[in-house]
Amino acid sequence: MDYERTVGTMYPLFEALLRHKGVPSKGMYTNKDMADLFDVSVRTIQAWVTEGRLAPRKLPGRGRFLAEDIESFLQNSKAKADDPRGARMHETRIYRARR
């Protein structure tokens, strides 16, 4: 079975993100890879890990993220319409994009 096809069927949100970004899938992702995928800083990724929103694997060297970790994060990170923090984040990104 083809790895790309397996990832696509097992992790639909993550695979859609990779397609949207035009990034090929790979086995493990670093903090920098994650920051690039989500258009945030490495420090934001580190904060998400500290807050428990994103869980890395403890592998030799540093924590790394696997496709299943990223899929889990995506499934659990739905913004609520009544969450003022989510609205502010969206407004901030629009402001930064227009600068």
Map residue 60 onto helix, strand or coil. Answer: coil
At 98, is the pLDDT very low, low, confident or very high (cuts 50, 70, 90)? low
State residue 7's pLDDT score: 47
Let me know if domain 3-98 sits in CATH 1.10.1660: yes
At 96, is the pLDDT very low, low, confident or very high (cuts 50, 70, 90)? low
Q: Where are the beta strands (DSSP E) in the chain?
A: 57-58, 63-64
Q: Is the per-residue pLDDT at 32 higher than 70?
A: yes
pLDDT in tens, 48-85: 999 999 999 987 777 899 999 999 999 988 765 555 55
